Amino acid sequence: MTFHTILPLEIVLDGIDDPRRMRRTVEIRTAGMLLEVEPVGDGFGRIVRLLDCPLDAYLNPALNPGNLIRMP
Amino acid sequence: MSADNLAGPEAPAPGEGDQGRAPGAAAQAVQQLGQTTVPQSESNIFCMTIIGQIEGHIVLPPQNKTTKYEHLIPQLAAAEQNPKIEGILIVLNTVGGDVEAGLAIAEMIASLTKPKVTLVLGGGHSIGVPIAVAGDRSFIAETATMTIHPIRLNGLVIGVPQTFEYLDKMQERVVRFVTSHSRISEARFKELMFKTGELTRDIGTTVIGPDAVKDGLIDAVGGIGDALAELNRLIAQRKRLAGAGGALQ
């Protein structure tokens, strides 16, 4: 893996070896789709990526990575 | 958020509106809007933003704001396939990131058959440069910058000549893409890439809006209005050509 960025790599990669700082994610199935989400509490999760879904789901802004979703 | 939102936009496609509406819809439209044709709220343009770090094969720590290539690639495939989308606007404000992921996104954008226009706002640095030039036409904001610099070694460094040859090949992929998708010459791009005395921690150059246009890297200085006007022009041109093609047959 090669980075090509203007940011110093010590800033970009800071904390990559620390499991407490990295995201803890779970897979959930909702509305017929399999999503990887990061639980944030109160029954909500932050979408990390879509794992199994119809192609048009990628065009739905509600399913963009970073959005909050109610966990089933 | 309810599960209803997850089903995706359900608005009818342009031209299908009358069939899709309930029997009383026309009367309701007259009451509420004073006309029977309801304005379509759905846009025919898909806007894609590429911000922060372009995240590739490694999940980056949470202090990074990232754009994930595994989301953008199927998103571009969906935009290409969806008949409601007629053009794609790509807005960039990126500090660079993974070479493979950046080039993959750039190649995807370049190979779309629908009109696509790129706009650099703020910055389109490092591996953001090939993405910025991948559209049919590119714009850069007056104050936006692009940093052109060589690919650096990172990770496990093995001090053998092959390491440098590998890096040189990676860099050549970027140079080849940029020079084949913009008006800049290879010699000028490499001159900017290896310039000394401009950057504090690196060799290379930061080009600001009008300079990027002067060097032929970007087509024009402009903002969102110019980019959308150009995209709409390209969409109209494509429709005209498709119409002419249909008439000939």
Per residue in B136-150, pLDDT (tens digit) is: 999 999 999 999 998
Integer Cα distance of A3 and A31 in angstroms? 36
Cβ <8 Å between A3 and B5: no
Average pLDDT, integer, range A27-44 = 92
ipTM of the complex: 0.84
Rounded Cα gap, residues B101 and B107, in angstroms: 10
Task: Give the global pTM.
Answer: 0.82
Q: Where in A1-72 does DSSP place strands (E)?
A: 3-5, 26-30, 33-41, 44-52, 68-70
List % helix, strand, coil for chain A (3-state, nearest 5): 15, 40, 45
- Tokens found for residue B103: 């080039």
Of A12-16, B2-6, B144-148, the poorest mean pLDDT is in: B2-6
Min Cα–Cα distance to chain A from B233, Å: 23
Residue B206's SS3 state is strand
Reported confidence tier of residue B32, pLDDT bands at 50, 70, 90: low
Mean pLDDT of B146-162: 72
Dihedral in degrees, nearest 10, Cα atoms B27, B32, B33, B35: 20
Q: Name A1's Cβ contacts closer than 8 Å, sequence gap at least 6.
A: B56, B57, B58, B98, B100, B155
pLDDT the model gives residue B21 = 44
A23-41 mean pLDDT? 91
Strands A3-5 and B87-98, bridge-based pairing: antiparallel
The residues of A whose Cβ lies within 8 A of any Cβ of B are 1-9, 11-16, 21-23, 30-31, 33, 49-50, 54-60, 62-65, 67-70
A70 to chain B: which residues are within 8 Å by CB?
A: 1-3
Torsion angle of the four alpha carbons B184, B185, B188, B191, in this order, in degrees rounded to the nearest 10: 110
pLDDT of residue B1: 45
Distance (Å, whole) CA A46 – CA B226: 35
| pLDDT tens-digit series, residues B104-141 | 999 999 999 999 999 999 999 999 999 999 999 999 99
Q: What is the pLDDT of residues B36-69, one digit of tens each?
A: 665 556 789 999 999 999 998 888 888 889 999 9
Spatial strand order of the sheet with A33-41 comes to A26-30, A33-41, A44-52, A68-70
For B99, residues 6+ apart whose C-beta sits below 8 A from its C-beta are A2, A3, A4, B56, B127, B151, B170, B173, B174
Mean pLDDT in chain B?
Answer: 84
Give the domain B45-52+61-248 fold.
Answer: 2-enoyl-CoA Hydratase; Chain A, domain 1 (3.90.226)
Domain range list for chain A:
23-70
Domain ranges in chain B are: 45-52+61-248
Instruction: Give the C-alpha separation, B107 to B124, whole Å.
Output: 16
The nearest alpha carbon in chain A to B152 belongs to A4
CA-CA-CA-CA torsion sign (B109, B172, B166, B196) = negative
Dist. CA B176–CA B189, nearest whole Å = 10
pLDDT score of B85: 95
Averaged pLDDT, B75-99: 95
Active-site residue numbers of B? 126, 149
Contact call for A1 and B57, based on CB within 8 A: yes
B178, B132 contact by CB (below 8 A): no
